[in-house]
Chains A and B, each alone.
Chain A
């Protein structure tokens, strides 16, 4: 049965996905009009603010991809909070374990 948590998570996923699509479309639009640069990477994440300020397509595309990937992580975080507010401590703790393993796999993946 549909719960408020279902609706909240659906809204969160919709917001993340919509923002990611808008950013990618802006980047693709800028690349198509060739205002500045192509669709190559902006560089490291620390270069993103500069690329966005300079209206470089790569900045918008990279930020869009980052927002897309952050959306499932935000969903797990929202589940953690959602279960905690419902005093479902067991599932809140399980969500925390998922977040920890996710963080660990990214760290190990990048290092290797």
Chain B
């Protein structure tokens, strides 16, 4: 070995040591996030969890932009924290909704087949479609859905006729707001399966939860009352987000210093949101959902012209 080789080796070893030291320092500072930053992360999770569980969405539509735009969280960490947050919102909200007997389990598991299949094929379809065009189309669709929901917010789903069978998917629950039992049969299942497939697909393509499409479809297209639609959608979202979040976790793309405060905040927010939803009138819930949908629509339309939060 020449003097030059020895010198190069020493330089390389020194460089590697410097890089290792730098990685240690980054890791050290990652683990010592300032307390105020941790509180802001938890607060973002809290608000996302509260609104998400109140209207049957995952909350990712709120969490990702806040983390990326205001808290300087890298996009991969924000998306993985958001996916974990969606699972936490779904789980926390469902605990309350199941106890109140609002969740339609047979309908949820039936639509989950379409949602999970949609999420699975999302990656394949994504390679063939233009994401900007998709964002514009779905953003426009959300505006129409939000406006339609507000206009029809006081129109109750058609109750089953006297003596009419509720069918395999029909169900009922005690509505504290109305002070009576509400029963309903499920109509247009193919429409729900189609919406589930699209929602799951878009969830994989654009990184948003599927609740923005499943709740309006359940409410307006399938005759499911708002409370049951929110509860059933809330349960379904956990499974869709779970697959994506598992991939992030196994690949080591979850930043625990970001994810843990967000998840803890989401849980606290979802407890509050699901309890508030039980006390609100259905027409108020519809307006809250419409506002969230409009916000998401703006975000998607902006993404279609190159202003992306994801």
**Which positions in A face B, CB cutoff 8 Å?**
1-3, 5-7, 9-10, 13-14, 16-17, 21, 24-25, 27-28, 31, 37-41, 45, 58, 61-62, 64-66, 68-69, 71-73, 75-76, 79, 83, 88, 90-91, 94-95, 97-98, 101-102, 104-106, 108-110, 112
Contacts and interface: CB of A to CB of B under 8 A. Distances in A.
B18 to A, nearest CB: 19
Given A17-B95, A79-B105, A101-B117, A68 B243 contact: no
Nearest to B261: A28
B28 interface: yes
A105 B120 contact: yes
B260 A72 contact: no
The B contact surface, by secondary structure, is: helix
A13 B98 contact: yes
A75 B103 CA distance: 13
B106 interface: yes
A110 B98 contact: no
Contact of A101 (B28, B88, B113, B172): B113
Contact of A5 (B105, B112, B250, B257): B105
A106 B243 contact: yes
A17 B249 CA distance: 17
A95 B263 contact: no
Contact of A98 (B94, B113, B244, B259): B113
25 contacts: A2-B99, A5-B105, A6-B98, A9-B94, A10-B98, A10-B99, A17-B92, A21-B267, A27-B260, A39-B256, A40-B30, A41-B256, A64-B260, A69-B242, A75-B235, A75-B239, A76-B112, A76-B239, A83-B109, A94-B112, A98-B116, A102-B242, A105-B119, A108-B123, A110-B247
Given A72-B238, A109-B244, A102 B28 contact: no
A4 to B, nearest CB: 11
B68 interface: no
B189 interface: no
Given A16-B91, A71-B91, A102-B243, A65 B32 contact: no
Interface in B161-207: 168, 171-174, 181
A38 B30 contact: yes
B27 A40 contact: yes
Contacts of A40: 27, 30-31, 256
A10 B256 CA distance: 27
Given A72-B239, A91-B106, A14 B120 contact: no
Given A79-B105, A98-B112, A104-B120, A69 B246 contact: yes
B238 to A, nearest CB: 4
Contacts of B306: none
B220 interface: no
Nearest to B29: A38
A83 B109 CA distance: 11
Closest 9 CB pairs of A and B: A38-B31, A2-B101, A109-B247, A72-B238, A10-B98, A101-B116, A105-B243, A39-B256, A105-B120
B308 interface: no
Contacts of A110: 247, 250-251
A83 B91 CA distance: 20
B142 interface: no
B254 interface: yes
A69 B245 contact: yes
A25 B265 CA distance: 12
B252 interface: yes
A88 B98 CA distance: 19
Contact of A62 (B100, B172, B256): B256
A58 B30 CA distance: 13
Contact of A1 (B27, B173, B235, B259): B173
Contacts of B87: 68-69, 71-72
